[in-house]
Chains A and B, each alone.
Chain A
Amino acid sequence: MSLLQVDGLEMHFPVRGGVLNRVVSHVHAVNGVSFEVRRGETLGVVGESGCGKSTLGKCLVRLHEPTGGSFRYDGVEYAHSNHGELMDYRSRVQMIFQDPYSSLNPRLTIRDCLREVILFHGTNYVERKGVREPIGADELILELVEKVGLRADAVDKYPHEFSGGQRQRIGIARALACKPEFLIADEPVSALDVSIQAQVLNLLMDLKDEFGLTLIFISHDLKVIEHFCDRVLVMYLGNVVEEIPCEELHASAQHPYTRALLGANPINHPSEKRELTVLEGDVPSPFDLPKGCAFAGRCPIAEPRCRESRPPLERKSSGHRAACFLVG
């Protein structure tokens, strides 16, 4: 049973210009994306910079209102709900942000930061045998801080007193303060040192198990996605080009873009061989998308028909979809 069902989600940002400040064109950031996330799984979203993966995440927590399409969470449509209607959704779906240096208000101590969230959503309770028992906000704050692996004396410090990894942990604690069941992690480790990345990833994994979270994990690093996710969604220029379970990624990924991404991964040992496809050319402008396949201009195997019409995302096998005429 799918917890989140996304149908043809579109996010086109208007670009204004000219003397009268009229809309002159649109940035097609997300261009009709459909997928579903089952309860308890971790879905990876991968793609290069500007492919719309962060915008997708922001649409899903409704930081943006999508310009088209819809998404249903637990059977309820939230794509165009207003502030009041979203309140319940917001406490269930939270986001972890990319840059730990700008994701915390520098004027609030960790305690103030978490307390505000806890009191706002009224999450200062513990559930024992299905019965909610209220606890003090401070108690919950301490619990959260310890859950994310920080010392209890951290609560009265300001964000600038922490390192990047610690700040990211605080960002996670803030998301958890809503007691969410669904987390969207927007490149949560890409701003961290490699040594810290592993710590934060492991923390996320532990928390996922402990709280039974469902996750969308956005990253540009296939290695991290492979390590962390059950399925992966490969995006290119606002479109999903392939959706594939992680364990099949190396063996049966078909889309030439996915293959190129896999080839670009660093290898573990110099004796290992890899199929390195260096993509040439640039990503087409998101202002006016090409008529055919968005990837055709850089694709090593493109044919004339690729430039004429857009390949649909077709089911290749169970849980595997790819958008290419020429494979499968």
Chain B
Amino acid sequence: MAKFMQQRGVKKLLKDRLAVVSMWVIGAYLLVALGVLVGNLFTEGGLKSETELRIGPDNVPGAWATQSAEARLRDATFYLDSIKKASRGSDPAAAYAALEWGSDRLPAWKPDRIESEIIEPADEISTALADHRELEGNVEALALLDRLEQVVRARIGASHDESGNAQRSAGQSFRMLLGTDRQGRSILVRAIYSTKVAVQIGVVSALISVLIGTILGAAAGYFGGVVDVIVVWLYSTFSSIPWIVLLMVLASAFRGGDWDGTLIPVYAAFCLSFWISPCRVVRGEVMKLKELEYVQAASAIGFGRARILFKHVIPNTAHLMFINFSLLFIGAIKAEVILSFLGLGVKNEPSWGVMINHAKAEVLNGFFWQIGTATVFMVILVLAFNTLSDALQDAFDPKHV
């Protein structure tokens, strides 16, 4: 088989530059997903806890966005308040340590030093700032704001360069790269983690759907008669239900059960609605193949029907399995987003759909970082897969429209 692929399809596929680029993109996504999966296994609490972390104020925009003065004040106040809360609590050292965005400098300080070097000067500036109603364009107020930021943020791991822009530690600036969501969680980290969920759902549901569809479709096409009637009846029935409704029904049917909160309800819903299209295509192909002379030769030789089906018929539908896999992979990722957006999909984990769902309210306030990030992550993957499946179709099944 490897040699066969070498001969025709793969060569043609590798000539298609767009296809190669999309394969690299898909490869990168798969690597990220694998990395997250492995990281999840080998880090304590999993990388998932990383996505739940508050790394700063709410709805901070991405690194290269210019913030309004109000937003800067709000952020600085957030940091100040967190430091105050920590140092005035019962166990300041532990509370400092829990300030995830803080540097290693903060916990080493004594509470009274923090009180005198951060909180007191910051409070003074805040009080002075409170006198100014208009911040934008107000030179005096902006100068105060700069000083406030310096005082607060210099102490939490972000030093300042000469022009006064906040310099964060590498980890922190990576997390803050695309800003934070409404709970102050890193959008970038959540989007990257979601790649794992997307790939997981895509691979598992596309693989199972293609397998079910191929076996049922091949059996229907090859045996005909009652088997064909049953399979056709099954997929006609399933395909006459709008798939989104079917997904919703299945997803809610699992609610409250043992598997609630895992991805299993999502897999089940997707496989039950996605096996139809490979089944239909494979059935047609097998009906064509079984009339071919090599299949007739196999029966004239005396091979049993199962052997003919699995050795001589199904392997020759492999190109359809490839193409359907890549189409269903995209379908599953998109459907996951829709389902999660409706609140029926992924739970207890971030996913692009969950992120878009959470971004509903932010969008109304003009904050597009979360929905934008999730969408861009998804669009790139889906686009790459679309390009690849087009190229696959051209390379392996030139007769197909």
Chain A residues within CB distance 8 Å of chain B: 58, 61-63, 83, 86-87, 90-91, 94-95, 97-99, 102-107, 116-117, 120-121, 158, 160-161, 171, 174, 178
Contacts and interface: CB of A to CB of B under 8 A. Distances in A.
Interface of B is mostly: helix
A178 B304 contact: no
Nearest to B295: A105
Interface in B234-258: none
Contacts of B297: 95, 97, 103, 171, 174
B130 to A, nearest CB: 78
B293 interface: yes
A63 B311 CA distance: 19
Given A97-B297, A107-B318, 9 more contacts: A63-B296, A63-B299, A63-B300, A90-B301, A97-B296, A102-B293, A103-B297, A120-B303, A174-B301
Contacts, number: 61
Interface string B297-320: 111111110000001100110100
A107 B4 contact: yes
A117 B8 CA distance: 27
B301 A158 contact: no
A105 B316 contact: yes
Contacts of B298: 105
Pairs of residues from A and B, 10 with the lowest C-beta to C-beta distance, nearest first: A90-B302, A103-B293, A97-B293, A102-B292, A105-B294, A61-B300, A107-B315, A102-B293, A95-B300, A105-B312
A314 to B, nearest CB: 34
Interface string B1-25: 1011001100000000000000000
A106 B293 contact: no
B294 to A, nearest CB: 5
B7 A107 contact: no
B8 to A, nearest CB: 8
B300 A94 contact: yes
22 contacts: A58-B296, A61-B300, A62-B300, A63-B299, A63-B300, A86-B302, A87-B302, A90-B300, A90-B302, A91-B302, A105-B294, A105-B316, A107-B1, A107-B315, A116-B303, A117-B301, A120-B301, A120-B302, A121-B301, A121-B302, A171-B297, A174-B301
A79 B344 CA distance: 60
Nearest to B302: A90
A102 B298 CA distance: 12
Contacts of A63: 296, 299-300
B293 A99 contact: yes
A117 B302 CA distance: 9
